[in-house]
A and B are shown apart, each in its own frame.
Chain A
């Protein structure tokens, strides 16, 4: 006798004769199709029916799940679940973040130069017109000494140069030489409050902004960039100044900067409000 059969015999013995008679009677009355023409109850069929029934219910549930998979991705409940997972992921990403982890552009690779993709959300390339007065970068929010820096003032601050990768959310990367000022330097000069947990980077590109966690903003490679590949930034790449850091995906790096705000709470961002992950760290 095989192991499985023994198992079944033992299980069957555990049932009382009365139980069996009652369940057989129920089966016979509620499921007449399983009583053969000769009036004999095909118990095997009944047992198989239970399993088959389970399988049929199970497989139809599976099929329903599969068919609805097409609509599943955008389903509201599903969205809540993945948004929850995204929040949990954020804590993992924050835990993985290291100030000591820096990006060094591959020595063998060449800079993208003009092949560096440029984008903006306005219908045309945003340019700071003279009608708006001179461009300034405001440093505000939870700071002891709010500042408004002209491009010249910005360029007179200690310079940081770095040859780093730019990681786009789409999956491409590009190498560039960036010149600028560390956000940590601006924070120190402005006297940012230790209670500030977030930093918002705002632009004159149709309301585009993205808020960051303070740790990423104060990373050594997070710069307010005014030079790219040895020249001043040009309009397609975010002139006069943009935010750039390899520690965040491209969409977090606001171009056409106008204002840096140190805050207690996050205020989302342009792409973040459109369903992209807020943290967007690399």
Chain B
């Protein structure tokens, strides 16, 4: 049998078994991963800088009201940088990478239309509530969703805004005299430092939950963030997936017609 004929046949079969639809544009994928690395280094070096003075109050003032752990440094294994001066250099080098990818991403989704997938809509609070009911087992079937479920949507929508607070409060700490008006916007140097730290904690929290949910609910989405392709038959909705439940459902299904 000629090799070519055989190959064409098997290829077609194989591909119908592995449907993949394009999901993320390469600019989104690139900015996602560059961001992931740059943000990790920013958090690590930022914590190393924080550890030089793990408190917020001005010298001579009483303890800062909104941070009960004043005086407790971040664990060393979470920090990045050999010493304070080195961590600062990393921080001030990586900030440009982060700002550049942030602008690339936001600019791209604005011009290319992906922002519409993230824009909050009227039904979102209800859909988010239904997702919470589903995850807490109060509801059996996965709520219908588009590209993202409502909880993802609100998270991905808010992330750039939290990032903006981090960048602005960071500038406020970096240049409290040259750009003192930005520092004043945050209520002074002490408060700007707190905003920078608090917003970082929020973004780290969002990212940790994001990574947990990717691993435990939709590991197949990693493919879409690497190659761009996504298999709708393996979507969390099609698998009725909760954390660590329904992970492999549909994985070996050979049916020609994917659900939905």
Contacts and interface: CB of A to CB of B under 8 A. Distances in A.
A89 B53 CA distance: 24
Given A74-B82, A97-B178, A51 B3 contact: no
A17 B18 contact: no
Majority secondary structure, B binding face: helix
Interface stretch (B89-97, B123-131, B209-217, B249-257): B89-97
A169 B10 CA distance: 65
Nearest to B173: A171
B61 to A, nearest CB: 7
Interface in A163-177: 165, 167-175
Contacts of B179: 96, 101
A276 B226 CA distance: 38
B86 A73 contact: yes
B226 to A, nearest CB: 7
Contact of B49 (A41, A97, A113, A171): A171
Contacts of A89: 92-93
Contact of B80 (A45, A73, A111): A73
Interface stretch (B133-141, B187-195, B235-243): B187-195
A89 to B, nearest CB: 5
Interface string A73-113: 11000010111011001000100111001110010011111
A97 B53 CA distance: 26
B93 A82 contact: yes
B59 A73 contact: no
A51 B20 CA distance: 14
Contact of A276 (B7, B80, B88, B177): B88
Question: Which bracket fits the contact residues of B?
Answer: 35 or more
A112 B57 CA distance: 11
Interface stretch (A19-27, A135-143, A233-241, A256-264): A19-27
A115 interface: yes
17 contacts: A3-B22, A12-B11, A20-B7, A43-B11, A51-B227, A86-B89, A103-B180, A116-B60, A117-B59, A167-B177, A169-B85, A169-B88, A170-B52, A171-B52, A172-B55, A247-B178, A276-B84
Interface of A: 2-5, 8, 12, 17, 20-21, 24-25, 40-45, 47-48, 51, 55, 58, 69, 73-74, 79, 81-83, 85-86, 89, 93, 96-98, 101-103, 106, 109-113, 115-117, 165, 167-175, 246-247, 271, 274-277, 281-282
